[in-house]
Chain A
């Protein structure tokens, strides 16, 4: 653990870097995943098709392949990401992680939607609500209770997966701290031990926060 103590500021900045990466990716994954879930239950066949294809492709591909695709494949077809603080891998990394995680978010949200009795959506449509209003005002709020626990697991998995983004070139996040420290002469064990602890410092509080959130939703109604 000597690396953790001696190089504490590096760990702090790596910790913050991972938080930042995960924050952007989480927002992207939650928004996109919910949208995809709405697509998958929509009455419009082409939208359903988009949702299903997305989930099939991203859930069944290795994350590393997805990330390489976003970082190297997309620029070849003209999709150029801006740099972030001089790092050209940050936004491709965020986008790849978000696109990949969105597939899992979609499935969690969709199973939540399916847990709401069909009569609820039917009553909403009978009142004259549109598909979007039915989903937004009646179905999703009720799906939330069943969606939070699996969504939490998806988010914690995403935080861990963010290390892979660091491994292939996003500097300034936690996993890249290990490479820097090993290069500076610290033993792999001591620097990796510090990195592992720092990840736990994100994922364990995230898990606790999730438990609080679950209980909060439970008492409502």
Chain B
């Protein structure tokens, strides 16, 4: 018997009113895999990402994390979300808390970790992402790259089984993109299961096991990065790659 995949989506459909944003999505990500999700704007990448920890509920189909079906809204769902780290395009650090408090809030409130222990672990994580010296500042006092690294540390503090990234570098100035991608690459090498929505092809080539290409709410291709970038099969992917490569 093989182990259950870390993320499993079966026949997932979702509408926003009339708009069919996710069409019959079937996706499995095994433990330790890194999957990059690509696709044109509005193709449903963010929505896909957000359904995995049920920030967006789905209309039909099933989603399982590590063999466990997503519970309904409530305590069970909060518990499951604690195991799924999420990093947002706009960082979303808690504006009224210091960087260290951002990282320790979850462990203290959700995991009931004693404060001193949570702080020790939090400082360790901030060291790992290279911003331990910023721990007592508020988010607004940090650069975008530092904020995003803090947000990654906040997610890691929960010791998640999976990490979801929704365009983690799109809101950053170009010179800060690499400091965040470096942290993510290291994380991938260490064996974290990751689903990453990004248009950073360097990262996809370097760190991803698979590339999933979405268009109009559908998964159109699911291939190894090299194969996808050098020889996309569908016209939609060819068209899309043509556009982003010329930019």
Interface on A for B, CB 8 Å cutoff? Answer: 43, 117, 119-120, 122-130, 133, 137-138, 141-142, 220-221
Contact B109 A123 (CB under 8 A): no
Further 4 A-B residue pairs, CB within 8 A, beyond A126-B81, A138-B96: A122-B92, A126-B55, A128-B158, A138-B105
Residue in B82, B84, B92, B96 whose beta carbon sits within 8 Å of that of A119 in the complex: B92
CA distance A120 to B106 in the complex (A): 13
CA distance A122 to B46 in the complex (A): 14
**9 interchain pairs (CB within 8 A)?**
A43-B73, A119-B92, A120-B95, A126-B55, A127-B158, A128-B106, A128-B158, A129-B78, A138-B94
Contact B94 A123 (CB under 8 A): yes
Residue in B96, B106, B155 whose beta carbon sits within 8 Å of that of A142 in the complex: B96
Hey, what's the 0/1 contact readout for B75-111 against A, CB within 8 Å counting as 1?
1001111111110101011111000000001100110
Contact B75 A130 (CB under 8 A): yes
B82 proximity list for chain A (CB < 8 A): 127-128
Interface on B for A, CB 8 Å cutoff? Answer: 53, 55, 73, 75, 78-86, 88, 90, 92-96, 105-106, 109-110, 138, 140, 151, 154-155, 158
CA distance A120 to B151 in the complex (A): 12
Residue in A119, A127, A220, A221 whose beta carbon sits within 8 Å of that of B110 in the complex: A127
Given contacts A128-B158, A130-B75, contact A120 B109 (CB under 8 A): no
Contact B95 A126 (CB under 8 A): no
Residue in B78, B85, B95, B105 whose beta carbon sits within 8 Å of that of A125 in the complex: B78
Nearest CB on B from A213, distance (A): 16
Contact B105 A137 (CB under 8 A): yes
Contact B155 A127 (CB under 8 A): yes
Given contacts A43-B73, A130-B78, contact A119 B109 (CB under 8 A): no
B79 proximity list for chain A (CB < 8 A): 128
B158 proximity list for chain A (CB < 8 A): 127-128
Nearest CB on A from B149, distance (A): 15
Given contacts A128-B81, A128-B82, A142-B96, contact A122 B88 (CB under 8 A): yes
Contact B92 A120 (CB under 8 A): yes
CA distance A128 to B155 in the complex (A): 10
Contact A127 B154 (CB under 8 A): yes
A126 proximity list for chain B (CB < 8 A): 53, 55, 81, 84-86, 155
Could you say which of A123, A133, A141, A221 has the most chain B C-beta atoms within 10 Å of its C-beta?
A123
Nearest CB on B from A91, distance (A): 37
A119 proximity list for chain B (CB < 8 A): 88, 90, 92
Contact B109 A133 (CB under 8 A): yes
Closest to B94 in A: A138
Closest to A138 in B: B94
Contact A129 B94 (CB under 8 A): no
Given contacts A43-B73, A119-B88, A137-B105, contact A128 B94 (CB under 8 A): no
CA distance A119 to B94 in the complex (A): 9
Contact B88 A141 (CB under 8 A): no
Nearest CB on A from B75, distance (A): 6
